[in-house]
Amino acid sequence: DKKKLIDTLELQKTLTKEEFIELLTGFTDEDAEYIRQKAVKNALQYFDNKIYTRGLIEFTNYCKNDCYYCGIRKSNTKVTRYRLTKEDILQCCKQGYELGFRTFVLQGGEDLRYSDDELADIISTIKAGYPDCAITLSIGEKSYESYLAYFKAGADRYLLRHETANQEHYGKLHPDSLSLENRKQCLRNLKDIGYQVGTGFMVGSPYQTAEYLAEDLLFIKELSPAMIGIGPYLPHHDTPFADMEKGSMELTLYLISILRLMVPNALIPATTALGTIHPLGREKGVLSGANVVMPNLSPVTVRKKYELYDNKICTGDEAAECKVCLQNRMKKVGYEIISARGDFVPIEG
């Protein structure tokens, strides 16, 4: 009986691997509704009906990696590559600040053209201009020293999805140059340094099984991250996985609810991929326990070039439009976007 498992999950904030597999296998609409209501209740308890917002700046689509699922993988020669200059990035922050954003997320491919000094300079300049803002980085796997340098320059948070906690599965999604062990080490390093750390995975990535998902959940439990980002896998036509099945929205929403019960105070975004798979995906995400949205602050001229998967939404809209659009969307389902930095707050005791 899944309802019993859901009750146990809410109480104990975890399950055994076998129980997670059972929870994930053959759930009904009724089960999903049962956990959804609990997840929403938990989110309301910690965050009221407030949704934090982060301004996403996709500052480079150059990448040295070749992840089989990703549209900006280095082997995709059809991508028009771009990099934003420090001035471009600062301009995005200026506009974002005026729109009420107090967190800037610098995301990009693993682009070796930016040296650590350059990145640290960009970070400290943003911090000097906007001392009341948080900076989140999402620039992949780096050395401990690099992570430390960015942290000292003022970066507060780091997003690095583990992608899958199963080694065999990891190997099917990535070339041999990348390893799960290093990915996990990076996450541990980031935590040790003092970042608020986010991890996560794609739902329905090729070859994923309920067992692998159970391992993802247990890994997240062990890492105890501040932020957890999940979204459906969506194919990109110029990747080796072009013909693979996309992930399921229902399973993504179900997993958001599971994660909310596991880490009730976590910052969980309703992701762009969720908004892409369904026109109301982000609203449904919030109504399943998510409490963060990440509208795009990148210049419209580069938006379409940061195409991780086909049909990515909001590639034609100005930042201001994205902000208003999301504000209205959230309002319609009874939630309010707020300007606060929205740091992770650990549970006392």
Distances (CA, A) of 151 to 118, 120, 340: 14, 8, 21
Nearer to ligand SAM, 73 or 127 (CB): 73
Question: Which C-beta is closer to ligand SAM: that of 35 or that of 249?
Answer: 249
- Is 59 an interacting residue with respect to ligand SAM (CB under 6 A)? no
Residue from 32, 123, 213, 273 that binds ligand SAM (CB under 6 A)? Answer: 273
The amino acid present at 181, given as its one-letter code, is E
C-beta separation of 57 from 84 below 8 A: yes
Reduced to 3 states (helix: H, G, I; strand: E, B; else coil), residue 334 is: coil
In three state form, how does the secondary structure of 49-96 look? CEEEECEEEEEECCCCCCCCCCCCCCCCCCCCCCECCHHHHHHHHHHH
Give the CA angle between residues 269, 144, 84 to the nearest 5°. 60
Q: Give the nearest distance from C-beta 31 to ligand SAM in angstroms.
A: 25
Tracing tokens 């000097």 back to the chain, one arrives at 128
57 sits near ligand SAM (criterion: CB under 6 A): no
> Quick one: residue 2, left, alpha or beta (phi over 0 = left, psi -120 to 50 = alpha)?
alpha
Task: Report CA Rg, the chain.
Answer: 19
Which burial class, exposed, middle or buried, applies to 118 when counting CB atoms under 10 A from its CB (0-12, 13-18, 19+)? exposed
Q: Least distance in Å: CB of 336 to ligand SAM?
A: 27
Given the complex with ligand SAM, which of 40 and 308 has the nearer CB atom?
308
Binding status of residue 70 toward ligand SAM by CB under 6 A: yes
Q: How far is the CB of 25 from ligand SAM (least distance, A)?
A: 23
Q: What is the rounded distance in angstroms from the CA atom of residue 80 to the CA atom of residue 189?
A: 33
Q: Is residue 202 close enough to count as binding ligand SAM by CB under 6 A? A: yes
Six token digits for residue 279: 């026109």
- CB nearer ligand SAM, residue 198 or residue 264: 198
Alpha-carbon distance values, 36 to 218, 233, 260 (Å): 20, 21, 9
What string marks each residue from 153 to 172 as x (binds ligand SAM by CB under 6 A) or -? Answer: -------xx-x---------
Of 12 and 185, the one with the shorter C-beta distance to ligand SAM is 185
Which of 151, 309 has the CB closer to ligand SAM? 309
Q: Binders of ligand SAM among 93-122, rule CB under 6 A?
A: 107, 109-110
Rounded Cα–Cα distance for residues 91 and 160 (Å): 25
Closer of 15 and 213 to ligand SAM (Cβ): 213
Residue whose entry in the numeric block shows the structure tokens 């699922």:
69
Site string for ligand SAM, 223-262 (x = CB under 6 A): --------x-xx-x--------------------------
The distance of closest approach from Cβ of residue 250 to ligand SAM in the complex, given in angstroms and rounded to an integer, is 16
Beta-bridge partners for 136 = 105, 157
Q: Can you tell me which residue has the tokens 């909001």?
A: 314
- Shortest distance in whole angstroms from residue 234 CB to ligand SAM: 4
Residues 5-34 binding ligand SAM (CB under 6 A) are none
Please count the other Cβ atoms lying within 10 Å of the Cβ belonging to residue 284. Answer: 22
Q: Which is nearer to ligand SAM, 40 or 106 (CB)?
A: 106
Interface residue list for ligand SAM (CB under 6 A) = 69-70, 107, 109-110, 138-140, 160-161, 163, 202, 231, 233-234, 236, 273, 308-309
